[in-house]
Amino acid sequence: MKSSCSVDSNTSSSSNKSSPTEGFGLTTLTALVITGMIGSGVFVTSGFALESLGSRVFVLAAWFVGGLVALCGAVAYGGLVRRLPKSGGEYLYLSRWLHPFCGFLAGLVSLTAGFSGGIAFAAMTCQEYAKGILALPAWMPSQTIATVVLILCCLIHVEAGRVAARINTTIVLLKILTLLCLIVFGYSVVGWPLEATGKPMDVPLPNATIGGFAMAVVWVMFSYTGFNEAIYVASEARVGRRTVPLALLVGTLITTFLYFAINDVFLRSAPIADLAGQSQVAAVAAAALGGETAEWWMRFVIVLSTLSAAAGMTMAGSRVATAMADDGLLPRWLQGQAGRSRAVVLQTSLALILVYVSTLRDLLGALGVTLSLCSALTVGTLFLSKTQARDKPDESTQPSRFVLAAAAMYCGATLLFATLYGWHDPWQCGGILAIFALAVVLWPCVSSSALSHANHSQYD
């Protein structure tokens, strides 16, 4: 069947194209990538991974493997953007290069797990750490702080637009400087990596398995998922074919370094028994390093970090809903600039539901598997040579051997760890099956609506 959901109908219009002086530049795009990655998972994951593996070395190995996979993914997504520098993310690429249903499925994943779920996770992490700073009345619901964060991010992006992007860039720069200061301070206390500290940190492994390590890597990969954040605003970038791939790579490299260093500090700051299973592992580590003052500042930095992450995902996620609406796959009231504001409200509502029905650990596993598999499917389209005739790229945009090698490594590693994780804990795959079932049920109605929309666009 010929693609009935042509994203080109409206997304390629002049409203979506940015002039060289008006679009997002390299700094803003890199900041968007970094804020999408350094938001919440890095401040939660190591505590859960340490409980599962019982070894600091194994946990750091998981962060290292996750970083390599993310770098391969960043290179591969750069190849996708060079071939088609338009907004829409996985939905756009899968609709164009594989099948409209796959694009619709990816769109549902982005709207539910990718952005609504990611925003909810960031807000819940912000809440966990803010509890040590803000004293709320006992009569308030436990989800009050997360609810306020979500509503605040919604209002900012409904009202502020590009101003919010500039504010986000400033916050990211401050966040990077603060994290660097924390890393230097932490190493000055526990000793630099090449120094022998003389502190035996590891305890005997509690039946660590390959499945347990795979589970830790999947959790870690969720912390890296923001490496592709810039592709969702590719249409609004200055010289998107060049700036977006570079932003993906630079942002991922910076974040990988910061992740490894800060987690090395966390894991060497206190005995494993004090860190294992802690959702506030960063606060526990800071208290061990510098007492109550250091813990307070750590909580403050994390609150700022998770707030900016939620805001960044709120900005990027609305573009996916708008692209789908432009193709007739979502209601028309989500089209255009006004539709973006309504999309922000929609994904905020979904995030609020997740905040009240799930836990941090449940979201960490379900989101990690779902988003990784969707990304692997998208990257796999680099190996396809066919697309619609009007979208056929020139030879200069074809992926190089280096990009294809990175894509193969990313897909292979993602599928391997997702399979091992599913074998180790099959219940965590329920979210994937639920989204797939929803897509199958909705597709007959959605596809007919999209076909009608495409025919109507042709007559217009």
Residue 290 domain-assigned (yes or no): yes
Pairwise CA distance, residues 424 & 417, whole Å: 10
Whether the pLDDT of residue 7 is over 50: the answer is no
Provide DSSP, 292-336. HHHHHHHHHHHHHHHHHHHHHHHHHHHHHHHHHHHTTSS-GGGSH
pLDDT top residue among 2 and 270: 270
Q: What is the pLDDT of residue 460?
A: 46
Number of domains in the chain: 1
Pairwise CA distance, residues 2 & 52, whole Å: 47
Q: Which has the closest alpha carbon to 185: 291, 289, 260?
A: 289
Pairwise CA distance, residues 66 & 45, whole Å: 12
Phi, psi at 376, each rounded to 5°: -65, -40
Residue 2 domain-assigned (yes or no): no
Q: What is the pLDDT of residue 409?
A: 95
Give the mean pLDDT of 173-193. Answer: 82
pLDDT top residue among 130 and 89: 130
Give the mean pLDDT of 383-394. Answer: 56
Residue 9 domain-assigned (yes or no): no
Residue type, 118: G
Q: Which has the closest alpha carbon to 376: 83, 94, 53?
A: 94
The number of CA neighbours under 13 Å toward the Cβ of 23 is: 26
Provide DSSP, 383-448. G-----GGGPPPGGGSPPHHHHHHHHHHHHHHHHHHHHHHHH-GGGGHHHHHHHHHHHHHHHHHHH
- DSSP code of 161? T
Q: What is the pLDDT of residue 9?
A: 37
Pairwise CA distance, residues 260 & 156, whole Å: 32
| Least confident among 93-102, 135-144, 389-398, 427-436 | 389-398
Question: Could you give the dihedral angle defined by the CA atoms of residues 162, 375, 17 and 4, in that order, rounded to the nearest 10 degrees?
Answer: -130
3, with CB counted inside 10 A (0-12, 13-18, 19+), is buried
| Least confident among 118-127, 357-366, 370-379, 401-410 | 357-366
Residue 3 domain-assigned (yes or no): no
Pairwise CA distance, residues 417 & 92, whole Å: 26
Mean pLDDT score of the chain: 78
Helix, strand, coil percentages for the chain (3-state, nearest 5): 80, 0, 20
Structure tokens at 255: 């974040």
Give the mean pLDDT of 99-118. Answer: 83
Residue with the two structure tokens 């603060």: 178
pLDDT, tens digit, for every residue of 318-361?
777 787 787 777 777 887 777 778 888 888 898 999 888 877 77
Residue 4 domain-assigned (yes or no): no
Residue type, 256: T
Instruction: Compute CA distances 323 → 90, 167, 331, whole Å.
Output: 11, 25, 11
Which CATH number does the domain housing residue 426 bear? 1.20.1740.10
| Least confident among 106-115, 139-148, 264-273, 281-290 | 106-115
Phi, psi at 48, each rounded to 5°: -70, -40
Q: Which residues have C-beta within 8 Å of that of residue 250, sequence separation ≥ 6? A: 26, 30, 33
Residue type, 182: L
- DSSP code of 400? P
Phi, psi at 237, each rounded to 5°: -95, 150
Residue 7 domain-assigned (yes or no): no
Pairwise CA distance, residues 197 & 212, whole Å: 28
Using pLDDT thresholds of 50, 70 and 90, give the confidence band for residue 428: low
Q: Print the domain residue range for 227.
A: 16-459
Three-state DSSP class for 181?
helix
Structure tokens at 443: 């597709």
Q: Which helix (H) or strand (E) segment is 379 a member of?
A: helix 360-380
Residue 10 domain-assigned (yes or no): no
Number of neighbours of residue 320 by Cβ within 10 angstroms: 27
**Euclidean distance between the first and the last CA atom of the chain, given in angstroms as a whole number:** 23
